[in-house]
Structure 1
Amino acid sequence: MSKDLWKVGVKWREKRPEGTIRHSQIITTYGPGALVDFVDDAAIVAGLSWWAKGEQITEDRLLAMLSKEPDFRNVKLHAPPASGRELESPDRKWIKAFRFPEWFICQNEHCWEDGGLAPRKDGAKPRRLLRINQLDGTGHKCKGGKGKASKVQPVRFTRACPAGHLDDIAWIDLAHLRRKEADPCRRPILWIDEAAASGDLDDVRLSCTGCGATIRMSYATRRMVEDHPPLGYCDGRRPWLGTDEKVECKAPMRFLLRSASHAYFSVPASVIHIPDRDAAMREKVTSVHDTIKGADDADDVRFFRKKVEAVRVALEGMSDDAVFAEILRRREGQTVARKKIKQAELEVLLAGDESQNNERFALKNVPLPKHRKGILSRIGKVVLLPRLTEVRALCGFTRFEQRTTDIDGELDIGAEVARLDEPVTWLPAVENPGEGFFFSLDESALLAWLRDKPGVEARDRLIKAGFKAWQEQRDDRKKAKDDFANVRYVLLHSLAHLLITAVSLECGYSASSIRERIYAGAGGSGILLYTASPGAEGSLGGLVEVGRHLERYLAQALDLGRLCSNDPVCAAHLPDHEVGGGDRYLEGASCHGCLLISEPSCERMNLYLDRTLVVGTVESSDAAFFEGV
């Protein structure tokens, strides 16, 4: 296969593009397999073989995590291509897209009458539904192939499966699905009749004038009809790869609106670039390994420090036990143990070692009073990050249901995520500089809250019951894990949302430009709020200033949580714990008036939220972590 497929069919000098896309949007919204609307057409973004590559990005921690997946063992990271506005530039690079869907609706509202059919008694204005090979050039000549061609628009309905496979609806089969005559339609002529302006699928009819068959489009949205999906079973078609090669799937196909929010869920993986203290230690041990490799214990390492000046200088700042553990690892031929993504980040943030600062990462500790009172009595550590870099890569995508990393930031995608290419040799990634602040909750205060607050255990049971109900109504119920369904995570997540709303009023960033990173694993509990926005807005310094006055902003956040504009209804809400009892299985007291924020800012799509765990509300105060401060 050619290495420059992105050049195939490119019309270099004909017209300017209809729009532009930022690199960060490519990772989240417009990656391979995404459906894109243009002015008079629609397309699907092509797979990575059809992309020009940008500069290579190096991030060892992210690559090490991705290497767990068999398809990503030798993968590299590249930025998406960057193009200037000069159309004649020979260095101009592109991302290809293919036309999809291949069915179109005539835009002439008189198409029915122009085709020689009697006006409808109900006043409806059906329009022809045509495949691309039935078009007259780029339009439809409604008068039997005569006259001027009317404009056509891509049909807004298609079908897909949760694994991301996509295909046109088999329109002829669907139109005749309920036809009971034994003889098939010999000359299908399809029409779409949108009887009402609302767009409700009950008011959209698909009909055939070849045999008189008709069906409402709402019928296509049913999962099963007499044990069969009305849209058929998936045959593994992947039109974004630009080939007719299919994979085995056989999942029931679902009805999909091209512009629906669940038509494309990117599966990203991200890390905060941090100095690898263990790597630095291994490098220093390597420099004197020939001298110290015969050490039998930590006391021998201490002896070498005392007697050999080069060893003392190289190993300064490292413990004898850590150095001997590294010697022993090499002696026994063991591989370097990889720490989980968020575990490694949390260790660096809690250690607060300012000597590890570099051009991509810098931290500064905020001294806290020894005897803390009020809100600060619940805080363990505050760290300012005047400089940080987030590296985010696109690893795949799904439709209908999102797949994300686990509570430690690790990715496990398996076969349930659509591939970006065949085979995958590189992944699109972005490197976003920014700034922010981190704070941890005091572990002793957390343990006391879990132990002494009477409502915490009851709330925990409700959250877990809601998760089980949510899991039962999912197609991949066996894949969903309850990592996030616990009160510790929900507390941290809800507090982060309140704080984002509070600080966005003064810090210089919009709320959608601030991103959260929740640490709730075995290593500790903390929140990192940072901005990783492209351009100058990502380095204003406003979040660092917030971190210096964290107590004041936490007080504002807690005030926002105590009373919601939708109280008492919001405060009384509990996670739905029965399938069919509702559709908010993973949220307690939360709504758009208090906790819900811009989804790009949230790492869990505005799920696992409950302000009752943060602060007392008009309904309850027996589970609030910050009650009484």
Structure 2
Amino acid sequence: MTDTAATEMEVPAGMLHDATDVLDPLADAEEGVVKNRAKVGSARPSSLLYTYGPGAIMDLPGFSVMPAGLDDWVPIWKRREHIPSILEPRLVNVVRLHLGPQVDALRPYPWQPKQGAMSKEGADLGIPARVFPQWFRCTGCDYLGPLPRFSYTNTHPFRPDLAQFTHKSCPGRSRSKPVGAAGKRESPAVPAQHLLTCTNGHLDEFPYMLWVHRGGKCAKAELPDLKMRDANVGRSVGSVIACASCGATRGMAEAQGSIGRDKLPQKCRGRHPHLGAFDSDCGARPALIMMGASNLWFASTQSIIVMPRTEAEEKKALADRLRVELGLDQVKQFGDQVAVIRALASAKGIEMSDVTDEDLVTAIADVLAPAGSEEDRQEKLAAWDPVELLVPEWRYLQKPALFPQQTNSSGLMVTEMQRGPKLNPKISRVVAVNQMKKVNAVLGFTRLDEMDRVNDLASRLVKLTRNGKPTWVPATEDRGEGIFLQLDLEAVAQWESAIRETSLWMAHQAAHKRNFRRRFSETAKQVDPDKRLPAPRYWLLHTLSHVLIRAMAMECGYGAASLSERIYGWTATPQREAAAGLLICTTASDSEGTLGGLVALSEPTRLEGLMVSALRRAARCSSDPVCATRTPSDPEDFLHGAACHCCSFASETSCEKANRFLDRRFLLDLPTATGESVPGFFGRVDDL
């Protein structure tokens, strides 16, 4: 893919590195050979965060690469004297809780904007990656072999999209032409699509050689050539692997499903391609997975909206800044010399004019304070709820008296808007988010099952470094705008009490339990499914958010995929008050803000019409009555009701729950399959 915007990042790929080497892809060009082996593609920060992070497979025009682990990013960062960091203590504390107290920084991706199209600023920066899968199939003769059997070409300095692997001396598929005949051509090669993975997050090449020979060796050659042929329609499903030496053949369809899993290797090798490493103690059974499968890689991320800091939080931020900019060793060495620490901090660009000696001493003590025990961290992690990140944001939005006092230091500017007289009375407040800053951090990733799908144990996260203890994690800093809507809390509580007694809610509960039991993750068995099922108010807010995103996209000037949601929907507990609100926003990492089209919709007259239009559209679906009456029943385990792509589903960039926990019957009075009366929160569509 070519670079289409200044915010995109080059993704260099190291070719044919030994698994034990530290990958430095920008230094692997052969001397005296005119090649551009380093740059093979580009990606935006958001896609590297949610779609193509370390351990994921990124499709390029000619082949696929896998972004490497954080160990291999270190040589890239060492090319700069100053390593930038994103300072946000509230998010850093959450990362430390999950990954350990050794994490001291959030770092942006290694990228630098260019002054012009032909300039070379940042040419030495990029995300290191490995070619994966490393088994290729020739498109000219169906030859199937490992990476060293193919040739790599990429000679155009400004066209990384032309990089590809080719099979030289390809004889083609003609059987009449002998192998050694003249006229052989050079055919492009494409990655073989079959892989093996396990519930512990390991990923490996498919053992084609063992597969075609049914676990044995070829009787006629030690290293025979293999062919991968597409089966003719009607004969079988999928590709067929053939040995050119002994003539053995075997279809890949045999490896599919639970029966096929018994024919695969019974023990995972524990391979982590993004780290170039193996785990020796994996006892899971591998399963077949295709290269483009949606469950091959799930990012585990946490994000916050940057809030105005209190005086205590500012002091805490100073300690984190000292830890990141000076380093623990330097703070230890000069910790008793306040003047020296002040001078070192000033030299690193930390503003110290308003910092008293007393505050600096407190910050130094905070840096040098011993970390808590691992047992304490695990205990806190077991009790941690992702909702804790949302609570400070909700509480701030409940205090409109603070809004005029805000400054731009946090990047957050909000305005309490008047409610229009025709706005549905069950919407109690409207807040325009004129400016906002959102910070997103990567914790790791999982395979086969999403982390929040079971939200069980941190041990499910695949490690980002070889020792599993990163000192920093990648993060992005996005800016944008949005609209916050709050529902009437008393009305929500009354509606929620009524909906819990309906057979519809009981059906959703039962489907969630079935879905939970069928997860691949073994640790899912240790978690109570009912504790992971969002409350009915979350379903209500989530569905309302989706129908509003569709309506807003028609008027605000942004595409629906550019809008995202943030749901504040939980019942009261001893630790926090109840919440019922939603934030629809648009953010981007390549700008200082957005154009104001979304905030403009918060004006009373425009919002009144928008709400009515969105709810009326939600009352009908082109798939009705099938969609409107959809209710899961045994053995079905889908996690939505009256919702589908025609009426309520949103793009994966917009939805925080992958289009789960949606039902239009929670919004409006709609017919049900059983004739049961399900109270919609906003009542009958004719009354809107």
- TM interval, short-chain normalised: 0.7 to 0.9
Kept in 1: contact 2:512–2:533 (CA 8 A): no
Task: State the alpha-carbon separation in 2 of the partners of residues 240 and 271 from structure 1.
Answer: 27
What's the offset of the Cα at 1:426? 1.5
- Deviation by residue 1:571-621 (Cα, 9 ceiling, x = unmatched): 0101x242xx34x52110001111001111000001110010001224476
For residue 61 of structure 1, what is the amino acid of its counterpart? R
Counterpart of 1:389 in 2: which secondary structure? strand
| Gaps in structure 2 of 5+ consecutive residues | 1-19, 78-82, 153-165, 172-177, 317-371, 373-379
Distance 1:4 1:190 in 2: 30
Give the match for residue 627 of structure 2: 570
Aligned to 2:357: none
In 2, distance between residues paired with 1:75 and 1:479? 31
Name the CA distance, whole Å, in 1 between partners of 2:657 and 2:610: 23
Please state how far the C-alpha of 1:172 moved relative to its aligned partner.
Answer: 1.4
For residues 6 and 55 of structure 1, what CA distance do their matches in structure 2 show? Answer: 22
Instruction: Assess if the C-alpha contact under 8 Å between 1:206 and 1:215 holds in 2.
Output: yes
Partners of 2:219 and 2:599 in 1: CA distance: 74
Aligned residues: 544
* Pairing partner for 2:428 from 380, 404, 419: 380
Listed one character per residue, the Cα deviations across residues 444-481 of structure 1 (whole Å, up to 9, x for unaligned) are 1112213446x863222111111001112112232664
CA shift at 1:95, angstroms? Answer: 1.3
1:169 correspondence with 2:195 = no
Q: Deviations over 1:493-539 (max 9, x none)?
A: 00100111111110111111111000112331110111112345951
Q: 1:442 to 1:174 in 2, by over 3 A?
A: same
| 8 Å CA contact retained: 1:460, 1:486 | no
Residues in 1 aligned to 2:124 and 2:264: alpha-carbon distance in whole angstroms? 45
The one-letter amino acid paired with 2:255 is: A
After superposition, residues 482-561 of structure 1 pair within 5 angstroms as: 482-521=531-570, 522=572, 523=577, 524-535=579-590, 538-549=593-604, 550-561=607-618
Q: Structure 1 607/214 Cα, relative in aligned 2: closer, same or farther at 3 Å? A: same
Name the residue aligned to 2:69: 47
User: Which residue in the other structure is 1:448 paired with?
Assistant: 494
Q: Deviations over 1:31-72 (max 9, x none)?
A: 111212333333221112222346211111111111112446
Partners of 2:218 and 2:133 lie apart in 1 by: 31
- Tell me, yes or no, if structure 1 residue 130 matches structure 2 residue 185: no
Q: Give 1:543 deviation, angstroms.
A: 1.9
1:3 to partner: Cα distance:
9.5
TM-score (norm 1): 0.78
1:406-454 deviations in Å (ceiling 9; x for gaps) = 9xxxx8761212122234121111100101111211111112213446x
Q: What is the one-letter code of the residue matched to 1:557?
A: A
Q: Which residue of the partner structure matches residue 102 of structure 1? A: 134
| Alignment of 1:265 onto 2:298 | yes
Give 1:215's aligned residue: 250
Q: Which amino acid is 1:539 matched to?
A: T
Closer/same/farther in 2, CA of residues 368 and 247 from structure 1, 3 Å limit: farther
- Contact 1:375/1:626 (<8 A) preserved: no
Give, in whole Å, the separation in 1 of the partners of 2:23 and 2:149: 32
Structure 1: 5+ residue runs without aligned partners? 112-126, 284-334
Equivalent position to 1:82, from 99, 104, 111: 111
Over the matched positions of the two proteins, sequence identity in percent amounts to 28
Q: Distance in 1 between matches of 2:465 and 2:391?
A: 31
- How far apart are the structure 2 equivalents of 1:544 and 1:59? 26
Indicate yes or no: 2:26 matched with 1:14.
Answer: no
Partner of 1:366: 417
Measured in 2, the distance between the counterparts of 1:592 and 1:234 equals 37
Given that residues 621 and 627 in structure 1 are in contact (C-alpha distance below 8 angstroms), is that contact kept between their aligned partners in structure 2? no
Distance in 1 of aligned mates of 2:107 and 2:266: 38
Matched with 1:615 is 668
Which of 676, 680, 686 is the matching residue for 1:624?
680
Task: Describe the shift of the 1:211–1:282 C-alpha distance in structure 2 as closer, same or farther (beyond 3 A).
Answer: closer
Other-structure match for 2:452: 404
Q: Structure 2: which amino acid aligns with 1:563?
A: R
Match of 1:324 in 2: none
Query: Any conservation in 1 of the 2:196–2:287 contact (CA below 8 Å)?
Result: yes
**Worse-superposed segment, 537-546 or 73-82:** 537-546
Q: Deviations over 1:152-176 (max 9, x none)?
A: 3221222222433111111111112
The AA in structure 2 aligned to 1:9 is: D
Residue 236 of structure 1 pairs with residue 282 of structure 2: no
Distance in 2, Cα, partners of 1:383 & 1:415: 39
Give the whole-Å Cα distance in 2 for the aligned partners of 1:146 and 1:46. Answer: 42
Displacement after TM superposition at 1:626 (Å): 0.3
Distance 1:184 1:377 in 2: 80
Matched-pair contact (CA < 8 Å) for 1:467–1:577: no
Q: Which stretch has the larger CA shift, 140-149 or 495-504?
A: 140-149
Q: 1:437 to 1:260 in 2, by over 3 A?
A: same
TM-score, structure 2 normalization: 0.72
Query: Structure 2 counterpart of 1:276, which letter?
Result: R
Please tell me whether Structure 1 or Structure 2 has the larger radius of gyration of its CA atoms: 1
Name the amino acid aligned to 1:415.
Answer: S
Choose from 76, 91, 95 the match for 1:66.
95
Name the amino acid aligned to 1:472.
R
SS in 2 for 1:270: strand
The answer (yes or no) to whether the contact 2:108–2:476 under 8 Å persists in 1 is yes
- Output the amino acid matched with 1:594: C
The corresponding residue for 2:167 is 139
Residue aligned with 2:451, SS: coil
* CA gap 1:14/1:607 in 2 versus in 1, 3 angstroms: same
Distance in 2 of aligned mates of 1:48 and 1:11: 25
Contact 1:438 1:529 in 2 (8 A): yes
- Residue type of the alignment partner of 2:542: H
Distance, in Å, in 2 between the alignment partners of 1:184 and 1:404 is 50
1:418 and 2:446 correspond: no
Measured on the aligned residues, the alpha-carbon RMSD in Å equals: 3.4
> Could you tell me how far apart the structure 2 residues matched to 1:525 and 1:272 are?
18
Q: 2:220, 2:245 within 8 Å by CA — same for their partners in 1? A: no
- How far did 1:220 drift? 1.4
Which structure 2 residues correspond to residues 231-380 of structure 1 after superposition, within 5 A?
A: 231-241=265-275, 243-277=276-310, 279=312, 340-352=388-400, 353-359=402-408, 360-368=411-419, 376-380=424-428
- The alpha-carbon distance between structure 1 residues 413 and 392, as it changes in their structure 2 partners (threshold 3 A), is farther
Inter-CA distance 450–44: structure 2 relative to 1 (3 Å threshold): closer
Q: Tell me the equivalent position of 1:154.
A: 191
